[in-house]
Chains A and B, each alone.
Chain A
Amino acid sequence: MSAHVISDQMNPDFALAVEGLTVSFDGFKAVDDLSFYVDQNEIRVIIGPNGAGKTTVLDLICGRTRATFGSIRFKGRELTRLKEHDIVLAGVGRKFQTPSIYDDLTVFENLEISYPKGRNVLGALTFRRDAAVRERVEEVASTIFLADRLNERAEYLSHGQKQWLEIGMLLIQDPELLMLDEPVAGMSVSERKKTAELLHTIIRDRSVIVIEHDMKFVEDIAHKVTVLHQGKILSEGPMAKVQADPKVIEVYLGH
């Protein structure tokens, strides 16, 4: 697919290897020949101005948008040809920008649906809510500060709580790669603080890609930062290095 032949000497330690990734919509390249690598247990933050292609990169990794060229390997497995649900089963979890939860179901049921069992038709028909399921749901619910609201309809949660619920739905899946699209957007100051706490607990033992605008927050959690601009990587490295990069300053403060 790609003209970039790097795959053979790929470092097996990379959790995620994105190479030569390109997607074009009617000739407009939203993501243009992008390559980056995420280590195991690394926390990578993607920043960049609006329209830089950040969300599109996540869409490409989780299969929501199909790449025009390029490859995405997760633990050595090519994702670009997998179906969305197979990508999830491979261990990739994704949180959407606006909270995406099931309003008509209870918090418990929201979490239960993401429990990684009974995911085909027959399995769902015969699925039993046994002690293990209940225990796991309750455990996750207390992590996301919703232990006492399990039986409430999700519709009645506050915006911040909905964000947490969706994070919880990902946690219960226990993905090896977790992708979060602006997890603190639209939150109050106190919710923001609690979310940062929450993220600190859940990002252990897995690789995480976060899109975020809040620089304080980014500085707080990022191992490495990738700056996207017009579908290309402008700069990449530790926060301090990126912040000092004149190209980044130009894009953010220039014009």
Chain B
Amino acid sequence: MFSDYSLTELGSIFVMQGFAGLILFSVFLLMALGLAIIFGQMGVINMAHGEFMILGAYVTYFTSQFFLNYLPSLFGIYFFIAMILAFIASGALGMAVEWLMIRHLYKRPLDTLLATWGLSLILQQVYRSVFGPREVGVELPGWMMGSLNLTDAIEVQINGLFVMGLTIAITIAVALLMYRSSWGKQVRAVVQNRTMAGAVGINTERVDRLTFGLGCGIAGVAGSAFTMIGSTGPTAGQLYIVDTFLVVVFGGAQSLIGTIASAFTISQAQSTMEFFLSGSMAKVLTLLGVIIILMLRPQGLFVIKVRR
């Protein structure tokens, strides 16, 4: 199968596939970051995570329309404002959902899974009714269009590079928030010992709500970034939900490094195989590989041995 290509061609193919894999990695990681907080820290299975992401995407789309129509001179920077709005919208919805639904279900994780699945169906239908069933795409500002030619055969899209950069920035922000800020300490304290955390004066209910809201807000930002490389439709969120859960579980639910490593492994495996096999077989083999590894090593890639 390699004989049709020269060595340099092969090299460029690998670089380009690797780049495609890196974009997939960014998408996985952006989605997984929010989930890693909600699932990894709180133990809540949020099947509606994809829909929170799509909300961010819609917010971005409407912001772009607004700028296009009313503030065309500032169109170049609309994305940064959209991202903030997406974070606020998804985060606020997340906090509302936590208050109305999730907080009653902390002791019943499997039931949370079913309830959030119901929520995802409702949100999908709402998006379809309000925003229409068609997929929408945003217009990229001029500076994000085009591509960089690294060599004659290798070129990379600027929007892809931008999304990658954004992913790195958000990941660093989350890491700092969880591991360096006092708020992150509170979250981890609540996770490890809810009663004790309450006893030393942490408002555990507030921490829960903010944590869930933060996870959803990050999903919204992920959706915002997602519009730079793909279009948005009412059911687009569901396409990634299983993959994302596998990413988080595969990485070891409570480890940020694990999430990053696992998103990287899965996305690279999938995009490399996609070149040689059909897209569906690449996905089957990737998922199957992850499932089998999880069966052999259920705790995921990274885990701390704790005293029970």
Contacts and interface: CB of A to CB of B under 8 A. Distances in A.
Contact of B308 (A26, A28, A64): A64
Contacts of B305: 25-26
A112 to B, nearest CB: 28
Contacts of A30: 307
Nearest to A28: B307
In this complex, the member of B305, B307, B308 whose beta carbon has the largest number of chain A beta carbons within 10 angstroms is: B307
Interface in A15-33: 25-26, 28, 30
A56 B306 CA distance: 13
Contacts of B307: 25, 28, 30, 56, 65
Say whether chain A's binding surface is mostly helix, strand, loop, or mixed: mixed
B199 interface: no
Interface of A: 25-26, 28, 30, 56, 59, 64-65
Contacts of A28: 307
A85 to B, nearest CB: 18
Interface string B296-308: 0000000011111
Interface of B: 304-308
Nearest to A24: B305
A149 to B, nearest CB: 27
A64 B308 CA distance: 9
A56 B308 CA distance: 9
A65 B308 contact: yes
Nearest to B304: A26
A25 B306 CA distance: 6
B51 to A, nearest CB: 35
7 contacts: A25-B305, A25-B307, A26-B306, A30-B307, A56-B307, A59-B308, A64-B308
Contacts of B308: 59, 64-65
A59 B307 CA distance: 11
Contacts of B304: 26
A205 to B, nearest CB: 32
A65 B305 CA distance: 12
B94 to A, nearest CB: 34
A79 B305 CA distance: 22
Contacts of A59: 308
Nearest to A30: B307
A28 B307 CA distance: 10
A25 B304 CA distance: 9
A87 B305 CA distance: 24
Nearest to A27: B305
Contacts of A25: 305-307
